[in-house]
Each structure stands twice: as C-alpha cells, then as structure tokens.
Amino acid sequence: MKNIIVTGCAKGLGLEISKMLAEAGYNVIGVSRSLSDDYASLQSAKPSNVIFYEYDFSNVKGISALVKLITKEHGRIFGLVNNAAIGNDGVLATMHESEISQLLKVNVEAPILLSKYVSRSMLLNKEGRIVNVGSIIGTTGFNGLSVYGATKSALAGFTKSLARELGKHQITVNTLAPGYMETSMTNGLVGEKLDKIKRRSCIGRLAKTKDAAAMTVFLLSDVASGITGATFTVDAGSTA
C-alpha cells in the first residue's frame, strides 16, 4: 500500500483529502496539532490504513525527526500533501511580528522541510508525488491577506524549481490552488463579503473541499505521472 503523508488532516480540506485517499486504498498518514473527532471516525472506519501523528508545524526543528519516525514505523513515503496552513488575516501595518514569522514558519518553512526529508524516500524509490496546497490568493491578492498571500506564492515558486530538481527521478511536484471553500479557515467570511465571492464564481457557488480533494487524489495517482511543475486552480471559476 502506498504511503501518503497529509498535513493538516484534522479538518477542512486535509480531512477531505484523507477520506478520499483512504477510500482509494492508500495508506494515509495524517499529521495535525490535534486529533479531531472527524479524523478519529475515519480511523475507526478504516483502521488498517489511516494513521495519525500529532505535531505542530510551527516547531520546524522537529520535522526531520518526525519524518524519520514515520518512515521507521511505516516504511518509505510515496506521496506528500503539504496542506496544513494558517490563514490569519490582518492589516500589515498593525500585524504583530511574531504573527508574521508564525505564518512564514507554518505555511512555507514547514512544507519546504517536509519536502526535503520526505523526498529522500522518493529518491530511493525513484518515484513520488508532492502536492503543495497554495491558494488563488497567491496570484490574485485580497485585502488583509498580504502575508498569507506571500506564503502561498512562495509555495508556488518552490513547486516550480523543485519539480525541475526532482523530475529526473520520476518525482512530480505540483501546486493545488483552491479558491474560497467553506472551512474553519474562512468562517469569518459571511454576509455581503461571502455573497460577493459567490457572485464572482462561474457556477454560482464556492469551490467545495471535495472539488479540491479530487484534484489532489488525481495528482497523486499513476495516471498523473507526466504532470509536474504546474498549478491547478480549483475555484469554481472565480478567477476565470
């Protein structure tokens, strides 16, 4: 069974990706700060192929040891979904410096370090998949999301060069760029602000976590072996 690490598996998009991957027969190794009831239910439903590790990615120093532990306990890793992120918004001029470095750590440094250590398994296997979860905000911009937006464009840039570096070893690296999905990250978006986003969509609704998770599962699949260095927008046509 192929091992896939999914960061931020507890809720939202990460949970949906974990569910779909478990259903598709992968060994899902989820990592989050805490075990949610939903992820625990998934574990109960699929006890043989859904695993959980508790970890806070703001502790970047422990990532090497975490990957070592996972590899020791489950064997080499086929896929990595860098999904965990924080979405703190705020006006830059008044944003606390510690909040800025927290965003950079969790959203950029952690996925880069995870890719560094997990790609070692992939290099040994001469195959692998990395999906970095970016955002349409990485290319469009949104009031109050300058630092978050910076982290998401950083990931897209990381994807491109890493795809060049790892391609000769049959390892693909892609960015998934979702539009607004209703998750705990966006629960502050209500009323007219939310309606405005929905009106921008081609199909009159927001993207769902299921839409973005389906694209992730596709990028991890065998038929996607020739797709790399690209960004896949799943935003219900908001940016069309």
Ligand X SMILES: NC(=O)c1ccc[n+]([C@@H]2O[C@H](COP(=O)([O-])OP(=O)(O)OC[C@H]3O[C@@H](n4cnc5c(N)ncnc54)[C@H](OP(=O)(O)O)[C@@H]3O)[C@@H](O)[C@H]2O)c1
* Sheet of 171-178, strand order: 50-54, 27-32, 3-7, 79-82, 128-133, 171-178, 231-234
Q: Give the residue with the Cβ less far from ligand X, 97 or 222.
A: 97
What is the 3-class SS of 165-190, one letter each residue? HHHHHCEEEEEEEECCCCCHHHCCCC
| Smallest gap from residue 172 Cβ to ligand X (A) | 19
What is the total residue count of the chain?
240
Contact 86, 103 (CB under 8 A): yes
Q: Give the residue with the Cβ less far from ligand X, 10 or 163.
A: 10
| Smallest gap from residue 124 Cβ to ligand X (A) | 26
Backbone phi and psi for residue 183, each to the nearest 5 degrees, phi listed first: -140, 180
Q: Give the residue with the Cβ less far from ligand X, 33 or 198.
A: 33
Q: Give the residue with the Cβ less far from ligand X, 65 or 124.
A: 65
128-133 and 50-54 as β-strands: parallel, antiparallel, unpaired? unpaired
| Smallest gap from residue 109 Cβ to ligand X (A) | 11
Is 26 one of the catalytic residues?
A: no
> Is the sign of the CA dihedral 182, 130, 233, 158 positive or negative?
positive
Where on the chain is the footprint of ligand X (CB under 6 A)?
8-14, 32-34, 55-58, 83-87, 106, 133, 135, 178, 180-181, 183-186
| Smallest gap from residue 160 Cβ to ligand X (A) | 18
Which residue numbers are catalytic? 148
